Amino acid sequence: MKNNSETFSFKRLWVLILLPIAFIIIWQAKTNPEFCETYSKNIYPILSGSLNYLFSMTEISIAQIILTVIAALLVFYTLTTILGLIFAGGRFKRILTYIVNIVCIFSMIVFFFSVTCGINYYRPSFAETEGIEVTGATTKELSELLSEIVLRINEAEENFDGKYRSFSENAEIAAESIAKLSEKYPSLSGEYGGPKPVSFFGFMSMSRITGFFFPFTYEANVNETIPKISIPSTMCHELAHLRGNMREDEANFIAFLSCMQSGDPEFIYSGLMLAYSHTASALNKYDPELCRQIIDGLSDDVKKDISEKNKYWAKYEGPVAEISDSVNDLYLKANDQKDGVKSYGRMVDLLISEFRNNGLEIPKAEEETVEEDIETNE
């Protein structure tokens, strides 16, 4: 008669079937646009809406609880396995059992990830769905965009009284803002709760993670310890993911638009700060001197806010942040974002293309708008 402990690992081998099933699902999403669209338009809204409604009954992040428990259990299981190898017999079986169980857990995670949101990585982009033509920008257009942002961010800072709201208050505004944006962009429609605060005891900041979308509970999670000026735009970014927009550049673009049309000074300032960061970084790669000349136009108060934000993140530079960046880069590339972490910079193309093709105006605080279009250089 076989010992139950000897067959413990092998009883779970059937779970490994989930891994090839997940690959088949993703392959279908890559090669069959109709399959992908059917999922994103008909299945995903039901899944995400139902579970988000359920888990939105509490302001506590269920994702943080689940991930913390899983991490603790994995550490405990690994330690007990190591102790068993040292003080008990059956080393080969223990190692085999450990490996099989870990692979089974990995298989389940990959399968449920592919079913809950992975397919959305291969759906038509937000730009394609909403008819936004995205093309490359000239340095002239880039400099003009940055100049306009510098002008507006100075005005936004003046209109913002510097009194930051509580997380819960901003979460409500973020949810309302992106819901309002869906009136112009129907693909963003849906009934969803607001983002939730998380911190993971400082580990998120150490990893330079501002927020994350958790597909197993359909929660938008935001690192509550980051500089307060970044919280509104990060909230809108994660809510964009919740609505099925998985590409980072597009989530940033949607976050910017949400902040702009909110009519709220704190959100407008945060959205412009997000746009400034990406646009200045892009121009600095091509014309550092011109970039310096333009950003010299920032007001002293805006420069102070940027400096404080940079100082915050400088505290967390180190091996943990580098590993996190590498893992994030690998994750993005594995999900068909070929630019990896560089995909965040493509937000600038969306900003310029929207302005060029559809008359996007960067509004002043209190919903005033720019009077003239940026001159293009075709």
String of DSSP letters for 19-37: HHHHHHHHHHHHH-HHHHH
Q: Could you give the CA distance from residue 73 to residue 89 in angstroms, rounded to a whole number?
A: 23
Q: Of 122, 152, 186, at which residue does a domain stop?
A: 122
Co-location of 130 and 185 in the same domain: yes
pLDDT of 378? 31
- Do 143 and 100 share a domain, yes or no? no
Whole-angstrom Cα distance, residue 233 to residue 258? Answer: 8
pLDDT for res 342: 42
Q: Is residue 3 predicted with pLDDT exceeding 70? A: no
Query: What is the per-residue pLDDT for 239?
Result: 97
Residues in the chain: 378
* Mean pLDDT estimate for the chain: 84
Is the confidence at residue 246, as pLDDT, over 50?
Answer: yes
Query: Tens of pLDDT along 93-128?
Result: 888 888 888 999 999 999 999 999 999 999 988 988
Highest mean pLDDT of the ranges 162-171, 333-342, 357-366:
162-171
Burial-class residue 339 by CB neighbours within 10 Å (0-12, 13-18, 19+): middle
Instruction: Tell me if 320 is assigned to some domain.
Output: yes
pLDDT at 145 over 50: yes
> Above 80 in pLDDT, residue 359?
no
CB 305 within 8 A of CB 216: no
* Neighbour tally for 293: CB within 10 Å: 12
pLDDT at 336 exceeding the cut of 70: no
Separation CA 3–CA 200 (nearest Å): 40
Q: Is the pLDDT of residue 369 over 70?
A: no
Of 187, 179, 180, 178, the closest CA to residue 124 belongs to 187
Asked, for residue 1, whether it belongs to a domain, the answer is: no
Share of the chain above pLDDT 70, in %: 83
* CA distances from residue 59 to 53, 64, 254, 369 in whole angstroms, order as listed: 12, 12, 24, 35
pLDDT given at position 361: 57
pLDDT(320) > 50: no
pLDDT at 52: 95
- Structure tokens, 60: 């506590």
Q: Where does a domain end: 76, 93, 122?
A: 122
Q: For residue 203, what are its two tokens?
A: 């580990």
Is the domain of 76 the same as that of 154?
no
pLDDT for position 58: 93
- Please tell me whether residues 220 and 351 are part of one structural domain: yes
Spatial contact of 266 and 366, defined as CB atoms under 8 Å apart: no
Q: Are 240 and 178 in contact (CB under 8 A)?
A: yes
Nearest to residue 258, comparing CAs of 352, 337, 342, 183? Answer: 183
Q: Picking from 5-14, 68-77, 359-368, which range would have the lowest pLDDT averaged per residue? A: 359-368
* Band (357; pLDDT cuts 50, 70, 90): low
Rounded CA gap, 178 and 164, in Å? 20
How many structural domains comprise the chain?
2
Give domain status of residue 5, yes or no: no
| 376 within domain boundaries | no
Q: Considering only CA atoms, which of 250, 297, 229, 268 is closest in space to residue 361?
A: 268
pLDDT of residue 183: 92
In the prediction, which pLDDT does 345 show?
A: 59
Same domain, 144 and 261: yes
* Same domain membership, residue 154 and residue 108: no
Looking at residue 340, what is its pLDDT? 39
Same structural domain, 100 and 27? yes
In the numeric block, which tokens belong to residue 170? 């901003």
Find, among 283, 307, 308, the residue nearest to 294 by Cα: 283
Does residue 374 belong to any structural domain of this protein? no
Range of the domain at 189: 126-367
Instruction: Determine, yes or no, domain membership for 377.
Output: no
DSSP-derived 3-state class of residue 221? strand
Q: How large is the angle between the packed helices 300-314 and 139-159, nearest 10 degrees? A: 100
- For the cut 90, the answer to whether the pLDDT of residue 307 exceeds it is yes
Which of 122, 139, 168 is the C-terminal boundary of a domain? 122
Separation in Å, CA 201 to CA 198, 204, 322: 9, 8, 19
Beta strand extents in 208-349 (DSSP E only): 211-214, 219-223
- Both 78 and 140 in one domain: the answer is no
Give dist(CA 52, CA 80) in Å, integer: 36
Q: Residues 84, 141: one domain?
A: no
- What pLDDT, on a 0 to 100 scale, did the predictor assign at position 111? 95
Mean pLDDT of 292-320: 87
Are 158 and 279 members of one domain? yes
Q: Is residue 186 part of a domain?
A: yes
pLDDT at 180 over 80: yes
Is residue 106 domain-shared with residue 138, that is, in the same domain? no
Same domain as 118, residue 223: no
pLDDT in tens, 203-214: 888 888 899 999
Is residue 108 included in any domain, yes or no? yes
SS3 state at 122: helix
Q: How far apart (Å, rounded) are the C-alpha atoms in residues 100 and 9?
A: 6
Mean pLDDT is lowest, of 36-50, 104-118, 133-147, 340-354, for: 340-354
